[in-house]
Chain A
């Protein structure tokens, strides 16, 4: 299993000092220590069609609390200045935090997790690894709970509607050797409604692990539109878990561009707990070089009349691997629920490996469900048609691929990020 010089429990003192040094509340320290004690006893999550027990995911972070020896120049990643709500973090540090007065007045909280733990301890405690993901879910979540070293807290109060998207940018600092254990907690209170957009980058070439846990808790009637573009570096080995939990009539819609350059597991889990709640999950991915990316989308209906859609499209180049697992699960009692999924992989190289693996688990009779999956090549008829209008082969191929990935692009609320995603796609395609 995990190679390590000492047992995780041996880190208890260092972890206590780390937590105390940050001024964390007592409950947080206890949560960390309990998680630490359970790591060894837990299993890795099972990811269909992937063996990853040798991936270097368990890198204990620097617990000294000292700032990183080298700092990231953010201008490489962000050119514009936003007047709207924006948080930018490089490594474990928060470098920009902007929240319009109008949102502050309404009680919106959008700040780094450490500040939130100081100023809003009880509110964070309500949701932090309590609802969407429990620390003991598996070995990776326990490791995360123990060693989490930075993050973000977004809270939108009851009945508050935020018009402009709230934006977060996380830049992993791989100019230094350190583990990136980021926690994002999005807490949507009753009947709130907003868009949240996040982006992940890596600065530097150090070989580091990333263990990222994003929790979205949507209370009764809350509507969350979540979009993300992930572009972690080629020397980063990532486990991403984005987990949603819906109360009655709530919805969480995900639009996620999995555009990392290194080995990645993206676990996208939504539990539709409340009756009438829904989730629409759209993910697009490109794998290139020799990288492996696995996108594991899991929508589970517990409540009655829930709706869960999974839509995954991906492109593979070079010798890369891309696997889509789509798991639609309707639990006994979730009458009137609907689980649909579509996973499609486009192979642009003979040496690439692609897999689209639909799984429907239905434990209730009065439901509807469906799936479609395919792994294939660019349709020669489509290419012929575009080229017959004078469009060059390379351009025609780009158009077809962009069209194929387009559904997620159009679901992202910020034009600048849509454009960036298009640019990223084009860059990956032209690097062949």
Chain B
């Protein structure tokens, strides 16, 4: 059955993106920079039981911005082989131009078709990375017809600022989002930015049922949890704790389970996650990869970007987690 046939048979359900914990997966790389397939398998196996979705090749934590097209294709294919439709996959699809993004859609869809993959896949796209606000609704109307799968918008002003492009705006304009969110194939947004802006975004999308807005900022989620969920980098290392906190925050778990000890456990997990986040936040990818490597989950701590001195935070983190 093709995507279109599937979607027509169960339209809304198919396009609904999940609520809950979405892990911002680190990309295991060999020392030569190629994809570490074994490490990817072990890492995913350790995470899948705890999460509602896996975000692959995210631009910053997943190093998607530094991966070549061929690497992305390889990463996507290997991920589908490991996940085998067990959890929804979020994949960062943006290229550095509109044309490159269209090419990515085409190549990635080719893999989906070739593998006859029937699990849920969502394309995560950072439009302001390669496109201005002007004309975005028209662009998405067109691109959604060739994307083949639902699209999740990605709004991250810090990332767009770092892209070093002559862009006037770092955020999707609220009025533009309102138009885009009316397109059925646009399923939600991964959001980073101010609380005030996300309120405005939520207002703009209220007319759209089941439009998810995930917190990309873990700290924000720990303080004021979005009811859609969180895209968590820390869940690479602490998936169990993140699951506990996310399910509690979203009231997915039963409130009375083990009460009052359950509350205490959730509170302690939250404090722990906040504490470790403050440590790895200085160089998150390098530090977490090093710990995962030490735990034997990935083979190399290789990163596509040079890291600063992480010795001190690494030691602190190791002492806290009793490594």
Do the two shown chains form a genuine complex with each other? no
